[in-house]
Chains A and B, each alone.
Chain A
Amino acid sequence: MGHKLGTHGSTIAGVGWTLYVGALLSVSGVVSLFGLTQAAAKIPFSERLPLASAALVIGALMLLPALMRWKQSVEVFERGLVWHRLLGTKTVIAAEVQGSRLIRHTGRNGQYDEVELQFSNGGSCSINGLKEAEQLIAYVRAWSGPAPAVVAPAAGGWAPPVAGGWRPPGT
């Protein structure tokens, strides 16, 4: 995929209320399960268990989007990218990418960028919450951009036109 151009980290900005409610539910689940407060300790474990388990499971599910956002990064190369995610790694080859869009989501929860990649096989994928998403989309667009003009090969590489040749009028 050529040499590496950069790495994009991620941000949990814009995840929203699920982050706070999920954290509260998880903490309350742990407190209830292990009887960490006097009030919880007075209740028999068998009675605490169902509610505590439910709080933990729901809390963890609510924290999952934030966790997936947080534990991701994208390495960009000259002809592709590698998307490291919590649940595996995805490799995208430049030739597979047919189109791309940068979508900025703004709402009461905050703001985050989404990079949407459309593939030649009809599929697509969205990478949410990356830092410097504009740079990533610019690289992706460079893959599919027009090929640079052909320069006639010269011995020893390219050389600028000879000095003293063409000059602008009046100079």
Chain B
Amino acid sequence: MTNYPFFYLIFPAVALGYVLFMRSHHKKKTQEYDEQYANFRAGALAQRLGLQLLKGDPSFNFMVTYANQAVARGATDDKAINIDIEMAGTPFGVPLTFKYLYRVERESGFNSTTYKTWFNCRMAASAKLAFPPFEVTSRNTSVGRIVRQQTLPDAQTHNPAVDAEFQVTTHEPALAQLLGELLPEFSSFGPAGVHLLGDGQQVSFVMNQSTAPMVPSALYYAEVMTHALSTIAQRLGG
């Protein structure tokens, strides 16, 4: 023992101390952020948007997901991460739902680990009457191209500002023209990106985990989202 230089013993101790300090620091910072963005916890967000939390943990923070113990711990072979939140209401007279599903299952094999991930986050406004399908995506976002989900042809809205900012796809020219009047409300999302999906009955704002529009940046404009979606659903389907 006495033959070893002093730093042989002190370096591992310093490294261990540093790791412990950083873990504690990270935990403290996460708690601070969770408090700072408390208005993005499921319960508070639902109240703020005039919705009712139907399912899920009211303390789950959409801005600071790592504040949730299950997310911070990560999936294990025995226990999956399963965040399933649903809220609904009619803040602007149109049925509006917000769903968030994040599920990760883990399977450890001999030389590989498989993670199965399900992610779905969208706010949807229901229309009274059916309307033709459409999709709207921002042309430019801060995190790359938006993944389109429908195979529809490009359409012009005849609003140059809207056509420059958004790519509108639909088979119906009249619907594209109407969207040209309604989409300026979504301009406030800016580089966060907009992804609207009209499936014929509902108009959804789709949010993603790793591609634009990402959940935290899109939910930053949650109030605008609820109002603008409700307006589109009213105008398209009464």
Residues on A lying within 8 angstroms of B by beta carbon are 2-3, 5, 78-79, 107, 132, 134-135, 138-139, 141-143, 145-146, 148-152, 157-161, 165-171
Knowing A5-B151, A170-B93 touch, does A158 contact B132 (C-beta < 8 A)? Answer: yes
Choose among B129, B150, B173, B200 the residue that contacts A157 (Cβ–Cβ < 8 A).
B173
> Could you tell me the distance between the alpha carbons of A34 and B194 in the complex, rounded to whole angstroms?
60
Choose among A2, A149, A165, A168 the residue that contacts B200 (Cβ–Cβ < 8 A).
A149
Chain A contacts for B230, CB-based, 8 A: 168
Q: Is the interface of A mostly helix, strand, loop or mixed?
A: loop
Choose among A5, A107, A160 the residue that contacts B236 (Cβ–Cβ < 8 A).
A160
Do residues B147 and A134 form an inter-chain contact, with CB atoms below 8 A?
yes
Which residue in chain A gives the minimum CB-CB distance to B92?
A168
Q: Does B238 contact A (CB under 8 A)?
A: yes
Choose among B149, B211, B238 the residue that contacts A166 (Cβ–Cβ < 8 A).
B238
Chain B contacts for A135, CB-based, 8 A: 145, 147-148
Do residues B151 and A143 form an inter-chain contact, with CB atoms below 8 A?
yes
Knowing A158-B172, A158-B174 touch, does A138 contact B147 (C-beta < 8 A)? Answer: yes
Q: Does B23 contact A (CB under 8 A)?
A: no
Q: Does B131 contact A (CB under 8 A)?
A: yes
Chain B contacts for A5, CB-based, 8 A: 151
Knowing A149-B199, A168-B93 touch, does A160 contact B174 (C-beta < 8 A)? Answer: yes
Do residues B174 and A138 form an inter-chain contact, with CB atoms below 8 A?
no
Do residues B200 and A151 form an inter-chain contact, with CB atoms below 8 A?
yes
Query: Digit string of B224-238 for contact with A (CB within 8 Å is 1, else 0)?
Result: 000000100011111
Chain A contacts for B178, CB-based, 8 A: 160
Query: Which 8 interchain pairs have the tightest Cβ spacing?
Result: A168-B93, A149-B200, A149-B130, A148-B200, A161-B238, A148-B133, A158-B172, A78-B151
Query: Digit string of B171-189 for contact with A (CB within 8 Å is 1, else 0)?
Result: 0111100100000000000
Chain A contacts for B172, CB-based, 8 A: 157-158
Which residue in chain A gives the minimum CB-CB distance to B210?
A134
Do residues B151 and A148 form an inter-chain contact, with CB atoms below 8 A?
no
Can you list 8 A-B pairs with a CB-CB distance of less than 8 A? Answer: A79-B151, A143-B151, A151-B130, A152-B130, A158-B132, A160-B175, A161-B235, A168-B230
Do residues A138 and B201 form an inter-chain contact, with CB atoms below 8 A?
no
> Could you tell me the distance between the alpha carbons of A135 and B211 in the complex, rounded to whole angstroms?
11
Chain A contacts for B129, CB-based, 8 A: 161
Do residues A160 and B235 form an inter-chain contact, with CB atoms below 8 A?
yes
In B130-181, the 8 Å CB interface with A consists of 130-133, 145, 147-151, 153, 172-175, 178
Which residue in chain B gives the minimum CB-CB distance to A159?
B174
Do residues B148 and A168 form an inter-chain contact, with CB atoms below 8 A?
no
Chain A contacts for B87, CB-based, 8 A: none
Chain A contacts for B149, CB-based, 8 A: 138, 141-142
Do residues B174 and A134 form an inter-chain contact, with CB atoms below 8 A?
no
Q: Output the least CB separation between B35 and chain A (Å).
A: 33
Query: Digit string of B189-219 for contact with A (CB within 8 Å is 1, else 0)?
Result: 0000000000111000000000100000000
Knowing A151-B132, A171-B93 touch, does A166 contact B145 (C-beta < 8 A)? Answer: no
Do residues B148 and A138 form an inter-chain contact, with CB atoms below 8 A?
yes
Chain A contacts for B93, CB-based, 8 A: 167-171
Q: Does B79 contact A (CB under 8 A)?
A: no
Which residue in chain A gives the minimum CB-CB distance to B208?
A134
Chain B contacts for A160, CB-based, 8 A: 131, 174-175, 178, 235-236
Chain B contacts for A149, CB-based, 8 A: 130-131, 199-201
